[in-house]
Structure 1
Amino acid sequence: MQFLADIWPYLAGTAEFAAMVGAAIHAMLTKSDVRSAAGWVGFILLVPVLGWLIYLLFGVNRIQRRARELRGVRRGRALPAPGPSQHEPLPVEPEEQRKELESFARFGQKVLPEHFEAGNDVDVLTNGDEAYPAMVAAIDRATRSVALSTYIFNNDKAGRLFLDALTRAVERGVRVRVLIDGVGSWYSRPSLIPLLRERGINYARFLHSFMPWQMPYLNMRNHQKILVVDGEHGFTGGMNISIGNLLGENPKKPILDHHFRVKGPVVGQLMRTFAHEWEFTTGEILGGPDWFPHIAHAGELVARALPAGPDLGFNPIRWTLLGALTEARQSIRIMTPYFLPDTTLATNLSLAAMHGVEVDIVLPSKNNLPFVDWAATPSLGWLIEAGCRIWKTESHFEHTKLMTVDGMWSTVGSANWDGRSLRLNFELNLDCYGRSFAHKLDRIIDGKIAGARPVTLESIAGRPFPVKLRDAAIRLASPYL
Structure 2
Amino acid sequence: MLDFVQNNIFFTLLIINYVIAIGTAFFIILNNRNPVTTVSYILSLIVLPFVGLLIYFFFGQEYRKDKMFKRRKVFNNEKVKQWEKKLLLGEQELDKYEDKFLDNQVNIVKLLQHNQKKPLTFGNDVKILINGEKKFESLFKDLEKAKDHIHLEYYILNSDNIGLQLIDILCKKAQEGIYVRVIYDYVGSDLSGKQVKRMQSCGIEIFPFMPVWFPNLTRKLNYRDHRKIVIIDGTLGYVGGVNVSDDYVNPCEKGYWRDTHLRIEGNAIKSLQSHFLLNWNFVSKQEIKIIDPFFPQMDNCGEVAVQIAASGPDSSWPHIMEAIFTAINSAKESIYITTPYFIPNEQILTSLKTASRRGVKVRILVPKEGDSWAAKYATNSYVLDILESGIQVYHYCKGMVHAKTMVVDGEFTTVGTSNMDYRSFEINFEVNALVYNKEISQQLIRIFKNDVEHCDKVSLEQWKERDFSEKLKESFCRLWAPLL
Shift of 1:254: 3.3
**Aligned equivalent of 2:269:** 267
Asked if residue 139 in structure 1 is aligned to residue 143 in structure 2, the reply is yes
Counterpart pick for 2:339 among 336, 339, 347? 336
**Aligned equivalent of 2:8:** none
Asked if residue 201 in structure 1 is aligned to residue 204 in structure 2, the reply is yes
**Aligned equivalent of 1:351:** 354
**Aligned equivalent of 2:5:** none
Query: What is the letter of the counterpart of residue 268 of structure 1?
Result: K
CA distance in 2, matches of 1:246, 1:286: 36
Contact 2:339/2:404, CA 8 A, preserved across alignment: yes
Q: 1:24 to 1:59 in 2, by over 3 A?
A: farther
Describe the SS at the equivalent of 1:164.
Answer: helix
**Aligned equivalent of 1:16:** none
Counterpart pick for 1:283 among 285, 295, 306? 285
Shift of 1:371: 1.8
Q: 1:79 to 1:472 in 2, by over 3 A?
A: farther
CA distance in 1, matches of 2:284, 2:182: 11
Shift of 1:108: 3.3
Asked if residue 78 in structure 1 is aligned to residue 75 in structure 2, the reply is yes
**Aligned equivalent of 2:431:** 428
Shift of 1:337: 0.7
Q: 1:118 to 1:68 in 2, by over 3 A?
A: farther
Q: 1:79 to 1:430 in 2, by over 3 A?
A: farther
CA distance in 2, matches of 1:124, 1:348: 27
> Scaled by the length of structure 1, what TM-score is found?
0.85
Asked if residue 102 in structure 1 is aligned to residue 99 in structure 2, the reply is no
Shift of 1:392: 1.1
Q: Where in structure 2 are the equivalents of 1:34-45 lying within 5 Å? A: none
Asked if residue 378 in structure 1 is aligned to residue 381 in structure 2, the reply is yes
Counterpart pick for 2:124 among 95, 99, 120? 120
Query: What is the letter of the counterpart of residue 65 of structure 2?
Result: A
**Aligned equivalent of 1:7:** none
Query: What is the letter of the counterpart of residue 96 of structure 1?
Result: F
Contact 2:175/2:202, CA 8 A, preserved across alignment: no
**Aligned equivalent of 2:16:** none
**Aligned equivalent of 1:453:** 456
CA distance in 2, matches of 1:73, 1:61: 19
CA distance in 1, matches of 2:27, 2:369: 45
> Scaled by the length of structure 2, what TM-score is found?
0.84
Shift of 1:144: 0.7
Shift of 1:296: 2.5
Q: Where in structure 2 are the equivalents of 1:171-320 lying within 5 Å? A: 171-186=175-190, 192-210=195-213, 218-247=221-250, 249-284=251-286, 285-320=288-323
Contact 1:254/1:397, CA 8 A, preserved across alignment: yes
Asked if residue 406 in structure 1 is aligned to residue 427 in structure 2, the reply is no
CA distance in 2, matches of 1:21, 1:167: 52
Contact 1:220/1:425, CA 8 A, preserved across alignment: yes
CA distance in 1, matches of 2:135, 2:40: 48
Contact 2:41/2:56, CA 8 A, preserved across alignment: no
Shift of 1:465: 1.8
Describe the SS at the equivalent of 1:210.
Answer: coil
Shift of 1:450: 2.8
Shift of 1:21: 11
Q: Per-residue CA shift, 1:54-89, capped at 9, x if unaligned?
A: 99995999566633431x321423275542243324
Shift of 1:235: 0.8
Describe the SS at the equivalent of 2:225.
Answer: coil
Shift of 1:40: 10
Contact 1:185/1:191, CA 8 A, preserved across alignment: no
CA distance in 2, matches of 1:403, 1:464: 31
CA distance in 1, matches of 2:265, 2:185: 26
CA distance in 2, matches of 1:28, 1:336: 34
Q: 1:399 to 1:39 in 2, by over 3 A?
A: closer
Describe the SS at the equivalent of 2:297.
Answer: coil
Q: Where in structure 2 are the equivalents of 1:49-68 lying within 5 Å? A: 58=56, 66-68=64-66
Contact 1:404/1:411, CA 8 A, preserved across alignment: yes
**Aligned equivalent of 2:164:** 160
List gaps (5 residues or longer) in structure 2. 1-20, 47-51
Contact 1:118/1:301, CA 8 A, preserved across alignment: yes
Contact 1:146/1:177, CA 8 A, preserved across alignment: yes
Shift of 1:297: 1.8
Shift of 1:198: 4.8
Describe the SS at the equivalent of 2:189.
Answer: helix
Contact 2:159/2:192, CA 8 A, preserved across alignment: yes
CA distance in 1, matches of 2:129, 2:469: 41
Q: Per-residue CA shift, 1:343-387, capped at 9, x if unaligned?
A: 221111101100100000011123111221111112110000001
CA distance in 1, matches of 2:268, 2:289: 18
Shift of 1:276: 0.7
Contact 2:234/2:295, CA 8 A, preserved across alignment: yes
**Aligned equivalent of 1:468:** 471
Q: CA RMSD in A?
A: 3.5
Query: What is the letter of the counterpart of residue 157 of structure 1?
Result: N
Shift of 1:244: 2.2
Q: 1:231 to 1:104 in 2, by over 3 A?
A: closer
Contact 1:256/1:400, CA 8 A, preserved across alignment: yes
Describe the SS at the equivalent of 2:159.
Answer: coil
CA distance in 2, matches of 1:106, 1:392: 35
Q: 1:76 to 1:375 in 2, by over 3 A?
A: same
Q: 1:299 to 1:74 in 2, by over 3 A?
A: same
Query: What is the letter of the counterpart of residue 105 of structure 2?
Result: L
Q: 1:58 to 1:435 in 2, by over 3 A?
A: same
Contact 2:112/2:119, CA 8 A, preserved across alignment: no
Shift of 1:439: 1.2
Number of positions where the alignment pairs a residue of Structure 1 with one of Structure 2: 455
Query: What is the letter of the counterpart of residue 384 of structure 1?
Result: L
CA distance in 2, matches of 1:420, 1:466: 26
Shift of 1:283: 2.4
Asked if residue 326 in structure 1 is aligned to residue 329 in structure 2, the reply is yes
Shift of 1:250: 5.0
Describe the SS at the equivalent of 1:119.
Answer: strand
Q: 1:64 to 1:402 in 2, by over 3 A?
A: farther
Shift of 1:92: 4.0
Contact 1:155/1:190, CA 8 A, preserved across alignment: no
**Aligned equivalent of 1:8:** none
Shift of 1:243: 1.4
Contact 2:228/2:417, CA 8 A, preserved across alignment: yes
Contact 1:111/1:319, CA 8 A, preserved across alignment: no
**Aligned equivalent of 1:417:** 420
